[in-house]
Amino acid sequence: MPREPRPQWECRTGEPAHAAARQERPMLICRGWRWRAALRATLPVAAVALSAAVGATAQTVEFSDTTLENGLRVIIAEDHVAPVVSIAVNYDVGSRNERRGRTGFAHLFEHMMFEGSENVGDGEHFLLVANNGGDVNGTTDKDRTLYFERMPSNQLELGLFLEADRMASLDITPENLDNQRNAVQEERRLRIDNQPHGHTFEAVDELAYENFAYAHSIIGSMTDLNAATVTDVSSFFRTYYAPNNAVLAIVGSVDTAAALELVRKYFGPIQRQPPPPEVDLTEPPQTAERRASYDDPLARLARVDIAYHIPESLSADHDALSVLSTVLSSGRSSRLYQGIVRDTQLGVQVGAFAVSNRGPSLFRVIGIAAPGADVAALEAALYEEIDRIKAEPVESWELDKARNDARRSFVSSLGSSLQRAILLSRYTLFYDDPGQINTRAERVAAVSAEDLRRVAREYLVESNRSVIITIPAPAGAPSGGAPGQGGF
C-alpha cells in the first residue's frame, strides 16, 4: 500500500530540551544532544518501583483501547486540564530478547532511533520536537524499549509523524552504526567503568540469574557491539520494530476520534512483521547461596549487595514484597535506616526494592558501609533486620505508612500526562491490561502484615540469595573478583 505524503515541518537550529520521566525500575536512560546516558541510581528505585506497582483510587483514568489492522495497540486518554499531549511508544523488546554474541542491540537502538528516517534527518527528531515546544527521550530495560514525546497538544500530528516515520523507515547505515556504537562505548566508560561501584548492579544479575535472558547487562558487551554489522542491526530492527510488536499511548488534550484518525493516517500503512521469537525466561530454582567479591579501585567505601529470587511483577507476592521493601527502606523511620545508619552506624546508605520484571524478578538489599566499619558486620545487620520481619508482624503504623507512601507517589505521578501515557503503554505491553492503572491500588491495599511475614519467610532465605561484597582497592590496583562486563 503506497504511503501518503508526509507533511513537512521546518527544522530550525537550536538546542533541544530534554526531560526524563520517572521510571518503574532500573534502566538505561539516554539524554542530551550528545547522546550521553545515565544509569538510574540503585538505591532510590524502591519508591519508584513501588509507585509503578499500585494504582490511585483518587482518580480514574478513562481511556479507549484500539488495535489497528497491522497489530498496533493504541491507548488514548483525554485530559483537557492543560493544552499538552504526551505520546509513549513501548516496543516489546529489551535486553532479554538478545542472544549470546549479540548483546547490547536493544539499548543501541535507543540511540539509533534518533539517527534519522526517510523524511527526518539525523538529529532532526530532537530539533523538531524542541522547536515546537516539546521534549523527547527514550529508555531501555530488560523487558522493553520506550520512546516518548511531551508537546503542546496542537503538535500531536508532528509527534505521531515522527514516531511513525522512524518505525517505518529508520536510516540504518554504516556511518550511523559507527556513530552510535562509539556513543555507547563512551556511555559505558562514563557511567559504569569509571564510576565507584559502577559494575555492581550488572554483576548482581550475572551472579543471581542462570538464564542468559536476564543475566546479561542492558548495555551489553562492547565486543559484541564492535562485531555487529549493518545486516545484524537491520535484522534486529525488522524483527522487533514493527507495529504488531508495539503499544502506542496518547494522553492529553486531544479528541479521541481525531487522534485515532491521525494514528491510522501515519501508522496504518506500516506493514506488520512475523511475530518475534518467544523468549524462555525460565529460571532454575536456586538451592544454595552464591557469593562473590570484587576489588574496586574507584570505591572509597565497601558495599554489600544481596539479591533474592522472587516472582514476576504481576504476582500477588510481588505486591507484598514491594510493600515490604518500603517498610525496610523508605525514609528515616524505616527499619534499615534506624537499625543500620542511626543505631549501629555500620552503614551510611541502605536500601531495598523489588525489581519489577515481567519474568522472574529479584528482591535487592543494598548497604554501603560507614568509613572503617566491618563489612561482615554490616552484612549480618542487614540479615538481622530481614529476620525481624520473619519473626513478628510489622506494626500497623509501618504498614499504613507503606501503603500511604505508595498511594501518594502514584497519585503524584498520575498528575503528569507523560506518566499516564508511560503507565498505560507499560500495563498494556506487560499484562495486556491498561486498566491496571485504575486497579493496582486495590492489590496493595489488600497486603497484610501477615503477608509481609509470609513472603519474607518464603523468599528472603539463605539458599535463595546471591551476595556480592565490593571492597575498596588501592588506587591503580586491577579490578576483579566478581562476574561482570568490562573489568570483572
Same domain? For 220 and 314 the reply is no
8 within a domain of the structure (yes/no) = no
How far is residue 466's CA from residue 391's CA, in Å, rounded to a whole number?
22
pLDDT of residue 319: 93
Q: Kindly give the residue spans of alpha helices, DSSP state H, lying in 299-369.
A: 316-329, 335-336
Rounded to whole angstroms, what are the CA distances from 342 to 335, 336, 345, 370? 10, 9, 5, 11
pLDDT tier, 71 (very low <50, low <70, confident <90, very high otherwise): very high
How far is residue 113's CA from residue 109's CA, in Å, rounded to a whole number?
6
447 within a domain of the structure (yes/no) = yes
Same domain? For 254 and 298 the reply is no
For residue 176, which amino acid is it? N
pLDDT of residue 378: 98
End of a domain among 212, 232, 267? 267
16 within a domain of the structure (yes/no) = no
458 within a domain of the structure (yes/no) = yes
Q: Is residue 263's pLDDT more than 90?
A: yes
Cell of 359: 519474568
Counting residues of the chain whose pLDDT is more than 90, the rounded percentage is 74
Q: Find the mean pLDDT for residues 233-257.
A: 98
Same domain? For 300 and 249 the reply is no
End of a domain among 214, 236, 267? 267
Same domain? For 262 and 296 the reply is no
pLDDT in tens, 408-423: 777 777 889 999 999 9
Same domain? For 259 and 157 the reply is yes
Q: Is residue 40's pLDDT more than 90?
A: no
180 within a domain of the structure (yes/no) = yes
User: Which one has a higher pLDDT value, 443 or 374?
Assistant: 374
Same domain? For 257 and 349 the reply is no
Q: Pairing mode, if any, of strands 465-472 and 290-296?
A: parallel
Same domain? For 141 and 196 the reply is yes
Same domain? For 303 and 231 the reply is no
CATH number, domain containing residue 302: 3.30.830.10
pLDDT in tens, 357-393: 999 999 999 999 999 999 999 999 999 999 999 998 8
pLDDT tier, 172 (very low <50, low <70, confident <90, very high otherwise): very high
pLDDT in tens, 294-333: 998 899 999 999 999 999 998 999 999 999 999 999 999 9
351 within a domain of the structure (yes/no) = yes
pLDDT of residue 373: 97
Cell of 300: 572509597
Same domain? For 229 and 317 the reply is no
74 within a domain of the structure (yes/no) = yes
Q: Find the mean pLDDT for residues 87-104.
A: 97
205 within a domain of the structure (yes/no) = yes
How far is residue 106's CA from residue 289's CA, in Å, rounded to a whole number?
31
Count of residues for the chain?
Answer: 488
Residue 354's domain comprises: 290-472
pTM of the model: 0.85
User: Which one has a higher pLDDT value, 24 or 240?
Assistant: 240
Q: Is residue 144's pLDDT more than 50?
A: yes
For residue 103, which amino acid is it? T
pLDDT tier, 405 (very low <50, low <70, confident <90, very high otherwise): confident
Q: Find the mean pLDDT for residues 433-443.
A: 89
Same domain? For 156 and 246 the reply is yes
pLDDT of residue 369: 97
Same domain? For 48 and 191 the reply is yes
Same domain? For 108 and 222 the reply is yes
Instruction: Please count the structural domains in the chain.
Output: 2
